[in-house]
């Protein structure tokens, strides 16, 4: 009898399949970057975008190199981009397993387009 192996046997594979949108953030002072005396408007916009996506039932995860190194290491696309572009590659956005934006955060509209099957360039 042959033993069957499924992707769900791997916790990383299982998790990456259930995440709709993954944001690989540059190093920040806290998980959202919304800390310190001066708030960055871009990070406020990203936070609002994430809340809007989550309200639609979209699973969004954010990863930082310092607090989630395995998420970076286990993703070949992320590691290739970071090796090629260093920190300039971050943030990197992945929608359903495909890199859709590198070096800047996407807008809510860009994420919606990618979720609907059209990929950004």
Convert the pLDDT of each residue in 28-48 to its tens digit: 776 666 666 666 788 889 999
Q: Is residue 32 part of a domain?
A: no
In terms of DSSP H, where are the helices of the chain?
11-18, 41-55, 69-73, 76-85, 108-115
Pull the structure tokens for residue 94: 């992945």
Q: How many domains does the chain have?
A: 1
Reported pTM: 0.77
- Domain with 78 in it: what CATH number? 3.40.30.10
Q: 111 is in which domain, residue-wise?
A: 14-27+38-115
Q: Is residue 18 part of a domain?
A: yes
> What confidence score (pLDDT) does residue 78 get?
96
Q: Is residue 53 part of a domain?
A: yes
Block residue for tokens 């594979």: 13
Q: Is residue 99 part of a domain?
A: yes
Q: Distance (Å, rounded) from C-alpha 16 to C-alpha 97?
A: 7
Convert the pLDDT of each residue in 43-87 to its tens digit: 889 999 999 999 999 999 999 988 899 999 999 999 999 999 999
């Amino acid at each position: 009898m042959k033993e069957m192996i499924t992707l769900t046997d791997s916790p990383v594979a299982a998790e990456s399949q259930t995440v709709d949108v993954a944001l690989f953030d540059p190093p920040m002072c806290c998980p959202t970057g919304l800390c310190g005396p001066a708030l960055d408007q871009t990070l406020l916009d990203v936070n609002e975008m994430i809340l809007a996506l989550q309200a639609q039932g979209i699973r969004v995860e954010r990863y930082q190199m310092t607090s989630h190194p395995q998420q970076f290491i286990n993703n070949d696309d992320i590691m290739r981009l970071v090796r090629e572009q260093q920190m300039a590659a971050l943030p990197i956005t992945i929608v359903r397993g495909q890199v859709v934006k590198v070096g800047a955060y996407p807008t809510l509209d860009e994420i919606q387009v990618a979720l609907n099957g059209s990929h950004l360039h």
